[in-house]
Structure 1
Amino acid sequence: MNSSGEAHWQDPKRYLWSLGLLVPLLPIFGALIYVQTGQIWGWWLAPVIVYFIIPALDYLIGTDRSNPPESAVSQLEADNYYKYIVYAYIPLQYAGTLITVWFAATELGALGIIAGLFSCAYVNGIGINTGHELGHKRDALSQFLAKLALAPVAYGHFYVEHNFGHHRRVATPEDPASSKMGESFWRFLPRTVIGSLRSACEIERQRLDRKGLGFWHWRNDVLQAWAMTLILFGGCTAVLGWPALAFLVVQAALGSSLLEVINYVEHYGLLREKDANGRYERCLPKHSWNSNHIVTNLVLYQLQRHSDHHAHPNRAFQALRHFSDSPQLPSGYASMMMLAYFPPLWFKVMDPRVVAHHRGEFAKANVHPSKAEKLKMYFTSSQNGVSA
């Protein structure tokens, strides 16, 4: 019992959340295996686990729709254990990255470098989710660490764009990080990369302008985050030469694409409606695709409970809830991002779910303009099929 006389709720997954820390250890395991055996296969562990083992475990172990009681939320959010798990990712992330960069620049051949690239890319790509979790916190340390987690993938502008752009415009045609029905991932990728970068710079320019400061002021959060990347990349280049820079640039591109394929999955075809005054309705659980697959949620700080995250952005990962009215993905993110790489398969699986979620009403979907006529016919035929 606590001081108020209420029973102390125990999180059944409390210690399982630390499994996410195995991810940044993978490049370190790769280096140890190489030192011991001279073989590079250890650096392939990260992509194999991300693309094959986690989806298989999601399928075998299944989902968990249970929620913590509302009375336990303050208790969960006050428990520093969860915060320290997130913090711990970052030193392990940097250790694995720096060790792999050193081997790639000094010892590894072409195949070893490729293996190291994928290993670092997936650890640092998942590290963006660490930056995402910390970026929603209000204390200065968490915000600093959020930028630090984003530095290895040169995606520091995400800190600004996600919190002050994406969360405001999510599930609208104006949001570069919300994918449209009929839009393939490969068409979405350049749109979101360029659009998010422009948005972050404009958001920060406006913020600094309100303070009477110019864009190039040292208090610019985008420039601060990019400076961390310059220090990391520049330091490695100074010590290890240009091969280290080339390695870091390529793994950054691969790692940031991991974020963007998740962005593609999270809001595909979903649209917030406008009221009579032309204002978008408040973001609700129905505006994000949700998944309760246990293994991916443990690795990604329950990012798959994305519906609750957007409805309540400041809620800590351990307290996020399942909502019965949120649209559900057929599998976890690890499986869905693989599907997204193959547009015909993605459309076959997800388009019927978009139609069903919007109850066959074409006007309620966020549709790519170039596919509007074709998809309007698809909605109509789907409605006729249901009514028949």
Structure 2
Amino acid sequence: MLHYLKFTTFPVIAFAVMHVMFQGGPWMYAGIVALVMVVAVGDLLLPEDRTEPRFNNEFFLNFMLWLTLPLLMWVTLLFSWGVSSHDVLGLDGVMKDWFGYDRLAIQANTTWYQWFFGAVAGAFLFGAGGTNVGHELTHRTYSPRDMILGRWMLAFTCDASFAIEHVYGHHKNLGTPADPATAQRGDNVYTFVIKSWLGGYRSAWKLEKQRLAKFGYSVWDPIHSRMMRGNLMSLSLFVSAYALGGWWAVAMFWVMSAGGKTLLEIVNYMEHYGIVRRPEDKVEPRHSWNTNASVSTALLYALTRHSHHHAEADQEYWNLRSYRHAPMLPTGYLGTILLTLVPPLYKRVMTPLLNHWDEHFATPEEKKLAIEASLKSGMKGLKSAQLGKQQQAQSMSPATV
């Protein structure tokens, strides 16, 4: 039973955080504080979750995923209602009588920057819920229901195109220069986010254009083009936010949407940072950074077991194995995300991990690629860069001429 209950972590935290935050005022900071204290600190203090139980009740495990879409709608509705200049859908009386929310009092006691920090917490819900669960469901290309639900979840972060590029692009190209979602050694997270954001959209557009060309359709055709339908889905959410709460609601939704998308790109940054692979080689567990941190594993539906996910992309999250001997991140997902925000610190932490990967995981061919990547990175302390410099010096010495 405990193994089932751990996968209720996201909806429980999401509902609890939203309830507390909508007391207004300083309570708007509660979401950020809870995420750091519960997730990042929890990952550091609790033992790793290496369990690999057999699950029989798959409906419950799927229901936890399906619950994410109404939850995202609820978060959007609450923020749109909270900042609105009028009574949205007559909710004022209902929310006050049933839940004790006095919207006018909340507005009066909440500053714009407190709303902003509340929206940042909402962005984590959009990312950890919408993007992460959408990622899980859009891998299920055999299930039209899950594909539709997953694309709608991704639409909250204006990223329905992710279902195309990630499944048919990233999983094929990871670890190579052709993959915009693979961070090269020395990449700065802030520039990477923009590069991966734009590169991923371009890749998805190209893949969809090539697919539709086979049937004589245009990528601009909203009936047949998944790209255009995805764009329209996201646009409909912005229009809904405006209808509910005006431009302030649009601003809140934009912060949550853009923040959730940024969170995805930061996760992309750290999941394959500095790992190299030849395009002709099979994707293996060693080509992804893994972690079995307990809270991250439960909260993110085992996305943290990324090595197995890339080895067998069609596996449901409850079947992912811990792969304890795979390359490991320094801590759980939120803790690592916080590290990436300080690039010099992140590079210092990752340098010994990259040295370990080069020595223990890279094939002879990949060691050559690692030398090139390390030299190009300019990072200090990479042994493969030192080896490359020695090889360059030997090739230039008179004795070798």
TM-score interval, normalised by the smaller of the two chains: 0.7 to 0.9
Pick the aligned partner of 1:225 from 221, 230, 234. 230
Q: How much does 1:167 deviate?
A: 0.8
CA contact (8 A) 1:178 1:268 kept: yes
Q: Which has the larger radius of gyration?
A: 2
Pick the aligned partner of 1:88 from 54, 64, 67. 67
Q: Deviations over 1:48-73 (max 9, x none)?
A: 222332111111112022334xxx4x
Please give the residue correspondences for 1:196-215 in structure 2 after superposition, counting only pairs within 5 Å.
196-215=200-219
Looking at structure 2, the residues matched to 222 and 18 of structure 1 have their Cα atoms a distance apart, in angstroms, of: 32
Greater shift after overlay, 225-234 or 280-289?
Answer: 225-234
Aligned-pair identity (%): 28
* TM-score, with structure 1 as normaliser: 0.85
CA contact (8 A) 1:23 1:123 kept: no
Q: How much does 1:240 deviate?
A: 2.4
Root-mean-square deviation (CA, aligned residues, Å) is 2.4
Looking at structure 1, the residues matched to 16 and 258 of structure 2 have their Cα atoms a distance apart, in angstroms, of: 19
CA contact (8 A) 2:185 2:373 kept: yes
**Correspondence for 1:7:** none
Pick the aligned partner of 1:365 from 370, 394, 399. 370
CA contact (8 A) 1:303 1:317 kept: yes
Looking at structure 2, the residues matched to 52 and 337 of structure 1 have their Cα atoms a distance apart, in angstroms, of: 14
**Correspondence for 1:41:** 26
CA contact (8 A) 1:188 1:264 kept: yes
Alignment CA distance shift 1:367-1:267 (3 Å): farther
Looking at structure 2, the residues matched to 14 and 239 of structure 1 have their Cα atoms a distance apart, in angstroms, of: 36
AA partner of residue 13 (structure 1): H
Please give the residue correspondences for 1:102-141 in structure 2 after superposition, counting only pairs within 5 Å.
102-106=81-85, 107=107, 108-126=110-128, 127-137=130-140, 138-141=142-145
Pick the aligned partner of 1:259 from 264, 272, 284. 264
Please give the residue correspondences for 1:269-284 in structure 2 after superposition, counting only pairs within 5 Å.
269-273=274-278, 279-284=279-284
Pick the aligned partner of 2:14 from 24, 45, 52. 24
Whether 1:97 and 2:76 are equivalent positions in the alignment is yes
Looking at structure 2, the residues matched to 123 and 374 of structure 1 have their Cα atoms a distance apart, in angstroms, of: 34
CA contact (8 A) 2:371 2:388 kept: no
Please give the residue correspondences for 1:334-349 in structure 2 after superposition, counting only pairs within 5 Å.
334-349=334-349
CA contact (8 A) 1:290 1:328 kept: yes
Looking at structure 2, the residues matched to 378 and 243 of structure 1 have their Cα atoms a distance apart, in angstroms, of: 52
Looking at structure 1, the residues matched to 49 and 387 of structure 2 have their Cα atoms a distance apart, in angstroms, of: 31
CA contact (8 A) 2:308 2:321 kept: yes
CA contact (8 A) 1:296 1:332 kept: yes
AA partner of residue 330 (structure 2): P
Looking at structure 1, the residues matched to 381 and 281 of structure 2 have their Cα atoms a distance apart, in angstroms, of: 23
* TM-score, with structure 2 as normaliser: 0.83
CA contact (8 A) 2:80 2:244 kept: no
Q: How much does 1:370 deviate?
A: 8.0
Greater shift after overlay, 354-363 or 316-325?
Answer: 354-363
Structure 2: gaps spanning 5 or more residues? 86-106, 390-401
Looking at structure 1, the residues matched to 19 and 26 of structure 2 have their Cα atoms a distance apart, in angstroms, of: 10
Alignment CA distance shift 1:110-1:366 (3 Å): farther
Greater shift after overlay, 84-93 or 316-325?
Answer: 316-325
Looking at structure 2, the residues matched to 85 and 366 of structure 1 have their Cα atoms a distance apart, in angstroms, of: 44
Q: Deviations over 1:175-212 (max 9, x none)?
A: 00011111121121111011001001111111111122
Q: Deviations over 1:309-329 (max 9, x none)?
A: 001001010110122441011
